[in-house]
Amino acid sequence: MKRFLEKAVKWILTGSGFVTSAVILLIIGFLFTEGAGLFGEPVVEEGYVLALNDDNPVRTMTAAEIKAVFDEDITNWKELGGPDLQIMTFRLEDADEYFSEEELGSRYEHAGAAIASLVKSHPGMVAFVPESLIPENPGLNFIEDKNISPGEVLGGKEWFPTATPAPLFGILPLLAGTLWVSLFAILFALPFGISIAVYMSEVASERVRGFLKPVIELLNGIPSVVYGFFGLIVIVPMLQQVFGLPVGESGLAGSIVLAIMALPTIVTVAEDAMRNCPRTLREASLALGATKWQTIYKVVIPSSMSGIASGVVLGIGRAVGETMAVLMVTGNAAVIPASILEPLRTIPATIAAELGEAPAGGAHYQSLFLLGVILFFITFFINLCVEFISSRNRAKNR
Amino acid sequence: MDRPSYPDGYSLRKRRAQALAFAIFRILSLAIVIVLFAILGFIVVKGAGVISWDFLTEAPADGMTSGGIFPAIVGTLLLMLGSALVAFPIGIMSGIYMNEYASRGWVVKFIRLMTNNLSGVPSIVFGLFGMALFVKYLGFGDSILAGSLTLGLLSLPLVIRTTEEALKDIPDGIREGSLALGATKLQTIWKVVLPMGMPRIITGLILSLGRVSGETAPILFTCAAYFFPQLPASVFDQCMALPYHLYVISTSGTDIEAQQPIAYGTALVLIVIVLVINLLAGFLRKYFEKRLKMH
């Protein structure tokens, strides 16, 4: 009985030991299945077709081109490799302009035939209509129905997930926004973080350190929404005044808030590393006549460099994944930022802002999971870096 | 030449460099202390006037432009409790396994790598995952159950790490003493190792609760309700939560003038929860340390 209990407990404990690994696998599995579904979605909205006149030789258009055509940024078929012909766009909403109610039928039963003849009579027309409306053998040409390609998503410069007829899922603006904000956050946090770590581990008296330590812990404990709220109420208006911006919500506001949030991570890890620097090293340096400051920057900092680096990398990880504070202060404009003073949008903020409105299972929904996958891998990579740095450090110290 | 004129034997240039460097460190450290107190002070000053008994015990009213935040407080406490029920048993058991059972080597290394990676996963990714698995796949819907499970998984790495570290510091001699007296491994863990590690484990658990109380992103799509004035009746109900309430009220409010005081009050309550949890953890740590020393 006793031995059975021992065995049973051992197995339960072993099982629980692998829970985190299982969770990681589940995260990868679920995010991947949803995210990869995006590449099985058609470029043109599900159930719709783009109908062309029979004489129009154009057969393929990318999502970006379709959007440009319907936004009237591209106005001639020449630009798409077709004849020199003015482009006319037609959406179902425009039907009333071309047809009377009788022509369409009270329940749109004649709409398909009416639209088909309209497209036939206008050589430059492209019509965005439901597939079910189009009659059989209409004598029209259609833009080939292709699936969204990874290249369009990973290399796309525009994020318009709700655009019709063809939503754009280019992640570059979001990626740029994320990296931009994190980079500036680390630039702000780095001098403060290292200085405080050095001060706490090398300079401050026990009493001052005993005061600073809880301050840093508390900074780490404050919820990100509170930072976001503080940023929204205090930092955003301040930046607007100082820089004379049209809107204060900007990448800079995000970086400042993120810098405060990433600071505790950097300080804690870097300070730990410096305190672990062997006493004999310090004493040897001091005995050679170096001042305390010389000892710090010539002996302590170089010898604890890997710890400091881990702290900085972990800080970057925290900044990249932070959602709420960034969502609240960066203004959420999905464009590639030209300067840090402009509104921008990060990957986590996009997920948080848009998932609520994206219909489950649709392309938009799946694209947000794809963003989750990308975010997961960015942080996964960052963690591996930390792991690598600290394992190299352990090997060196041995 | 000028060396002998200084008692500690450093040249003026070196002493100046040191004084300058240390002054910079002091100023930057002071700046951070000021930042913390600015944030705390700002929210305390603006929020203190809002806090009243009614604010803490009433439901929001008039489209969330007046009334209190009682359902949000209850929701946050429920989520803390729920996530604790998920994370504490699994996390402590996992920590015990890592330190007491697992053979040193690739197994421990692998699990530790995975745990570290999990702790680095952004909270919004947990939110996505919780939505896909608990809300959709397992069909819990937006519910306290789904939110608690998501938050529990989020705090799992923290619990595992503190447990493991607490147990690691217990000297092997104590385990060997117990085993030498004829106790089994399980008895040793249950009667000797765990009681000794408990103080530090408890401190870690409390801190993980603090983290859970402020998380917003994981509950956005798994649990949080924009407005749910009655208290949840079962674990399959949605609930309001303080951090989410603060988020919606400060970003998508309908009447900013009327809602800003509520936002300040909510932020203050959140901060107080975090402060109390931090102080409690610090106090317990000191208390247990003292008791251990006396033994």
Residue-by-residue DSSP string for A346-390: -HHHHHHHHTTTSPTTSHHHHHHHHHHHHHHHHHHHHHHHHHHHH
pLDDT grade, residue A106 (50/70/90)? Answer: confident
**Cα gap B216→A377, rounded to integer Å:** 22
Nearest CA to CA, how far is B125 from chain A (Å)?
Answer: 6
Q: What is the pLDDT of residues A313-357, one digit of tens each?
A: 999 999 999 999 999 998 878 788 888 888 888 999 999 989 888
Task: Judge residue A39's burial from the number of C-beta atoms within 10 Å of its C-beta, 0-12 exposed, 13-18 middle, 19 or more buried.
Answer: middle
Neighbours of A389 (CB within 10 A): 18
Flag if B214 and A351 touch (Cβ within 8 Å): no
Is B267 within 8 Å of chain A by CB?
yes
What residues in A contact B153, CB-CB < 8 Å? 23
Cβ-based contacts under 8 A for chains A and B: 246
Cβ(A259)–Cβ(A181) below 8 Å: no
Is B156 near chain A, with CB under 8 Å? yes
Report for A33-37, A160-164, A371-375: range of highest mean pLDDT = A371-375
Which band of pLDDT confidence, cut at 50, 70 and 90, is reported for residue B4? very low
Q: How far apart are CA A381 and CA A374, in angstroms?
A: 11
Q: What is the pLDDT of residue A187?
A: 93
**pLDDT value at A222 more than 60:** yes
Helices A251-275 and A236-243, interaxial angle, to 10°? Answer: 110
At B127, the pLDDT band (50, 70, 90 cuts) reads very high
- What's the token pair of residue A314? 């972990």
pLDDT band for position A110 (50/70/90)? confident
% of chain B residues with pLDDT over 70: 95
Which of A198, A295, A170, A338 is closest to B10 using CA atoms? A295
Integer angstrom CA distances of residue B111 from A22, B12, B57, B106, B107:
10, 54, 44, 8, 6
N residues, chain A? 398
- Whether the CB-CB separation of A223 and B274 falls below 8 Å is answered with yes
In this complex, the residue of A17, A229, A348 whose CB is nearest that of residue B263 is A229
Interface contact B250, partner A, CB < 8 A? yes
The residue of chain A with its CA nearest to that of B9 is A289
Of A222, A292, A296, A374, which to mutate for an interface test with B (greatest number of B Cβ within 10 Å)?
A222
As to burial, measured by CB atoms within 10 angstroms (0-12 exposed, 13-18 middle, 19+ buried), residue A79 is middle
Interface probe for A, chosen from B28, B29, B40 (most Cβ of A below 10 Å), is B29
Give the bridge partners for B224, in sequence order. Answer: B239
- B272 interfaces chain A, CB cutoff of 8 Å: no
User: According to the model, what pLDDT value does residue A54 have?
Assistant: 79
Picking from A2, A192, A293, the nearest residue to B18 by CB comes out as A293
With 0-12 / 13-18 / 19 or more C-beta atoms within 10 angstroms meaning exposed / middle / buried, residue A37 is: middle
d(CA B116, CA A27): 15
Kindly state whether B64 is in contact with chain A, defined as any CB-CB distance less than 8 angstroms: no
Q: Does residue B113 have a pLDDT over 90?
A: no
Nearest to A17 among B98, B137, B184 (CB): B98
Do the chains contact at A348 and B122, CB–CB below 8 Å? Answer: yes
Give SS3 for B237: coil
SS3 A344: strand
Give the pLDDT mean for B48-64.
Answer: 83
- Interchain CB distance below 8 Å, B125 and A19: no
Q: Distance between CA atoms of A358 and A146, rounded to whole angstroms?
A: 22
What pLDDT is recorded for position B89? 93
Cα Rg of chain B (Å, integer): 25
User: The pTM is what?
Assistant: 0.88
The minimum CA-CA distance between A25 and chain B, rounded to whole Å, is 10
Statement: residue A212 has pLDDT above 80: yes
What the block records as the tokens of B55 is 């604010």
Question: Whole-angstrom Cα distance, residue A327 to residue A318?
Answer: 15
Which chain B residues have a beta carbon less than 8 Å from that of A297?
A: 21
Q: Report the candidate in A285, A283, A106, A217 with the shortest Cα–Cα distance to residue B278.
A: A217
- How many Cβ atoms from other residues are within 10 Å of residue A140's Cβ? 20
Query: Do residue A387 and residue B116 have CB atoms under 8 angstroms apart?
Result: yes
Res A154: pLDDT: 87
pLDDT at B5: 43
Residue A265: closest C-alpha in chain B? B120
> Rg for chain A (alpha carbons), in Å?
29
Q: How far apart are CA A183 and CA A344, in angstroms?
A: 14
Cβ-Cβ contacts under 8 Å, A215 against chain B: 32-33, 36
Q: In whole angstroms, give the CA distance from residue A355 to residue A371.
A: 11
Surface of B (276-295) touching A: CB under 8 A: 277-278, 282
Least confident of A6-15, B50-59, B62-71, B230-239: B62-71
Q: Does B133 touch chain A (CB under 8 A)?
A: yes
- Pick the residue of B32, B76, B137, B264 with the most A CBs within 10 A to test the interface with A by mutation: B32
Which residues, 6+ apart, have CB-to-CB distance to B233 below 8 Å? none
Q: In the predicted model, is pLDDT for residue B156 greater than 90?
A: yes
Return the percentage of chain B with pLDDT > 90, whole number: 38
State what percent of residues in chain A have pLDDT above 70.
99
In chain A, which residues have their Cβ closer than 8 Å to the Cβ of B186?
Answer: 5-6, 9
* Residue pointed to by tokens 């030789």: A57
At residue A335, the 3 state secondary structure works out as coil
| Mutation target among B30, B128, B136 for the A interface, most CBs of A within 10 A | B128
Contact A56, A132 (CB under 8 A): no
User: What residue spans of chain A are helical by DSSP H?
Assistant: 2-17, 19-36, 63-70, 95-98, 101-104, 111-121, 150-154, 172-198, 206-221, 224-230, 236-243, 251-275, 279-287, 292-295, 301-303, 305-321, 324-329, 347-354, 363-397
* Tokens found for residue B123: 């909270």
Indicate the average pLDDT of chain A: 86
CB A341 within 8 A of CB A251: yes
A380 chain-B contacts, CB cut-off 8 A = 117, 120-121
Q: Which of A25-34, A142-151, B31-40 has the lowest mean pLDDT?
A: A142-151
Residue B8 pLDDT class (50, 70, 90 cuts): low
Top pLDDT among A372 and A125 is at A372
Longest Cα separation, chain B: 84
Minimum Cα–Cα distance from B21: chain A residue: A293
Start-end of H helices in B98-225: 106-120, 123-130, 144-168, 172-180, 185-188, 194-214, 217-220
Scanning B75-114 for CB atoms below 8 A from A yields 89-90, 93-94, 96-98, 100-102, 110-111, 113-114
Alpha-carbon gap, residue B38 to B30, rounded angstroms? 12
| Residue A398 clears pLDDT 60, i.e. is over it | no
B138 in reach of chain A (CB within 8 A): no
Cis-peptide, bond into residue B122, ω within 30° of zero: no
Q: What does DSSP assign to residue B190?
A: I
* pLDDT mean over B204-209: 90
- The answer for residues whose C-beta is within 8 angstroms of residue A297's C-beta and 6 or more apart is B21
Q: Is the per-residue pLDDT at B88 higher than 90?
A: yes
> Which residues on chain B are in Cβ contact (under 8 Å) with A19?
90, 94, 156
Q: Do A314 and B120 touch (CB under 8 A)?
A: yes
Q: Residue A14 — pLDDT band, cuts 50, 70, 90?
A: confident
Of B110, B120, B128, the CB nearest to A369: B128
pLDDT of A393 above 90: no
> Of A64-78, A178-192, A271-285, which range is least confident?
A64-78
Q: What mean pLDDT comes out for the span B103-120?
A: 85
DSSP state of B136: I
Q: What's the start-to-end Cα distance of chain A, in Å? A: 45
Q: Is the pLDDT of residue B6 over 70?
A: no
Distance CA B97, CA B106 (A): 14
Burial state string for B158-171 with b = 16 or more CB within 10 A and e = fewer than 16: bbbbbbbebbeebe
Write down how long chain B is: 295
A90-94, A222-226, B166-170: lowest mean pLDDT where? A90-94
Domains of chain A: 48-146 (3.40.190.10), 172-397 (1.10.3720.10)
Q: Is the Cβ of B274 closer than 8 Å to some Cβ of chain A?
A: yes
DSSP letter (8 states) at residue A141 = E
Determine which of A16, A18, A249 to mutate to test the interface with B (most B C-beta atoms within 10 Å): A16
CB contacts under 8 A, B 1-60 vs A, are 9-10, 14-15, 17-18, 21-22, 24-26, 28-29, 31-33, 35-36, 39, 42-43
Determine, for residues A355 and B131 on separate chains, whether the beta-carbon distance falls below 8 Å: yes
Task: Count how many Cα atoms sit within 13 Å of the Cα of residue A37 in the half-sphere of its side chain.
Answer: 16
Strand partners, A156: none
pLDDT of residue B116: 87
Nearest to B32 among A233, A263, A324 (CB): A263
